[in-house]
Structure 1
Amino acid sequence: MSIELRHLRCFLAVAEESSVTRAAARLGLSQPSVSRALASLEQHVGVRLVDRSTHHLALTEAGRAFRDKAAVAVAAFDDALDTGRLPHRPLRLGHAWSALGPYTTPLLRRWQREHPDIPLELLRVDDRTAGLVRGEVDAAVLRGPVDTPALATELLFTESRVAAVPSDDPRAARASLTLADLAAGPVVLNTVSGLTTLDLWPPEIRPTATITVANTDDWLTAIAAGRGVGASAASTAQMHAHGGVTYLPLSDAPRVPVLLAWRSASPHPAVRQLVALARAVARRR
């Protein structure tokens, strides 16, 4: 049996989605075909890549190591197919939400002025690496720690955190909130592409009830409906205003690192220019 690119794409989709069903939907394939591709890949490499013993699929240690190699291989293949368009093919910049916050528009405008021959495409992709590991984008704006070895990163700036509460909640009238103020009721967590996990809270005040969603839109809707409260980066308040959600400073939460990430192997030819310009834009404001 030979392994084809489709096997790697299926594996990477499962790795990002933690679900065969969601991976199949993203790829436009049937669930059984994705399961067969994953099983064939595991048989070929001779190790189990995905732990299926839990409700949500998780990568094994071997799977995490193989994911980085597979991502590099897929990205290199995709780049090879684009050689006829180099060096002027579009530079795809992914983000899971909020992009670069207040620096987004200045970056896009300056890029257009300074690099008019290379279009910069801003794409929202709802997963933890904003499509970077799967090769859907050439670079990505990521928040929080990045532990994927195949990625190179540049810290652009840090931003404060905010609490998000229903606008008719009594806490919405406060000037600021603390982590303890959010711990009493359910906390809405975006477990697919979000930044916040229960580890944000110290063990002694960790919330006991959570509601999980898959993207920022559903996160906002759940909070506006009064199902729970949330925590996010300050850019969320700037980029995702909602009539039913009030954002307040979260006074005792650590700041959030905002990074530009790209694949260290086979990067887009213009990635270095993007890094330099993003750094310059973030430092000027």
Structure 2
Amino acid sequence: MSIGRSGQSTGRGIEVRHLRAFLAVADEGNVTRAAARLRLTQPAVSRTLAALEQHLGVRLVDRSTHHLALTPEGVVFRDKAAAAVAAFDEALDSGGLHHWPLRLGHAWSAFGPYTTPLLRRWQERYPRTPLELRRIDDRTAGLTRGEVDAALLRGPVEAPGLVTEVLYEEDRVAAVAADGPLADRAALHLTDLAGETVVLNTVSGTTTIALWPPSARPAATLTVANTDDWLTAIAAGRGVGVSAASTADMHPHSGVTYRPLVGAPPVPVLLARRDAPGHPALPKLVALAREVVGRGGG
């Protein structure tokens, strides 16, 4: 297939515009927003996406919900499409064309104290490739669904098809109601929480009842689906929580007091990506993340 400078093929088959339309839909999760981003009409984007799927012989996007989601085949194809478009743009004009954004997911607390240094250094070194930080309440922060290119995750991740690297470890903290008796303590132990109801984020959190020894496990738990609900429940005195230390800095709350949790194992912070070629800037992200941690964020 021959492709001209405009991105149009000179023969039959898939053109770069098909890939751009698919990538826009994958990023926005909505055909209308994708059309606005591409400055096209909604019917034009829908036709382009349908033509791509027909050519490939697979369904790339699940249209059964209002918020479009990639199918498993769409997740795999997105990595290939992003790499192809980036290579095409680079080949035409390595000095001037806009690079496709690199989407970095997280479920909460991002990169902890290293978040700002990472974003600033990326902008300084790679200004033509935007690094978009996206919070997604999911155990893999949207990575397995193709919503992001890489993700900052906490705790062990067992999802298949992912490559993970431990960047550093965080101590754990206890989160208690600011007006409760436990807030007066300088530090807490797991046993101090055993008599309380423990609030567990079962969607994206890392704390489970298994953190406590069998002989001293809390008698009651309260499950929530995200960090905001977790904080609200603790502030209301409905229970206590356990999280990584960066939560105290990234999610301050007037009704919640954080205290060091003595004797609890640390939480590993991982950089995860799919086991596929992926976005061409991923190696740069991995290298920069290691550098920022190595320099202590300074």
Q: Hey, what does 1:74 align to over in structure 2?
A: 74
Does the 8 Å CA contact 2:80/2:278 hold for their aligned counterparts? no
2:171 is the alignment partner of 1:170: no
Matches within 5 A, 1:136-285: 136-285=147-296
Aligned residues: CA RMSD: 1.9
Does the 8 Å CA contact 1:151/1:262 hold for their aligned counterparts? yes
Does the 8 Å CA contact 1:163/1:177 hold for their aligned counterparts? yes
Cα separation, 2, equivalents of 1:256 and 1:203: 20
How far residue 79 of structure 1 moved from its aligned partner, in angstroms, is 3.1
User: For the pair shown, which has the larger CA radius of gyration, 1 or 2?
Assistant: 2
Does the 8 Å CA contact 1:96/1:127 hold for their aligned counterparts? yes
Cα separation, 2, equivalents of 1:207 and 1:26: 38
Q: Closer, same or farther in 2 for the Cα pair 1:129/1:260, shift >3 Å? A: same
Does the 8 Å CA contact 2:138/2:204 hold for their aligned counterparts? yes
Cα separation, 1, equivalents of 2:238 and 2:203: 19
Further displaced range: 75-84 or 213-222: 75-84
Cα deviation 1:134-173 (Å, max 9, x = unaligned) = 0000000000012223011111100100000000111101
Cα separation, 1, equivalents of 2:136 and 2:244: 18
How far residue 267 of structure 1 moved from its aligned partner, in angstroms, is 1.7
Cα separation, 2, equivalents of 1:139 and 1:258: 13
Residue type of the alignment partner of 1:140: A
Q: Closer, same or farther in 2 for the Cα pair 1:284/1:271, shift >3 Å? A: same
2:188 partner SS:
coil
Does the 8 Å CA contact 2:176/2:256 hold for their aligned counterparts? yes
TM-score, structure 2 length as denominator? 0.72
Residue type of the alignment partner of 1:235: S
Cα separation, 1, equivalents of 2:160 and 2:236: 39
1:204 partner SS:
helix
1:250 partner SS:
strand
Q: Hey, what does 1:112 align to over in structure 2?
A: 123
Kindly tell me the number of residue pairs found equivalent between the two proteins.
228
TM-score, structure 1 length as denominator? 0.76
2:57 is the alignment partner of 1:5: no
Does the 8 Å CA contact 1:76/1:266 hold for their aligned counterparts? no
Identity %: 64
- For structure 2, the residue ranges without an aligned partner over 5 or more in a row are 1-56, 91-98
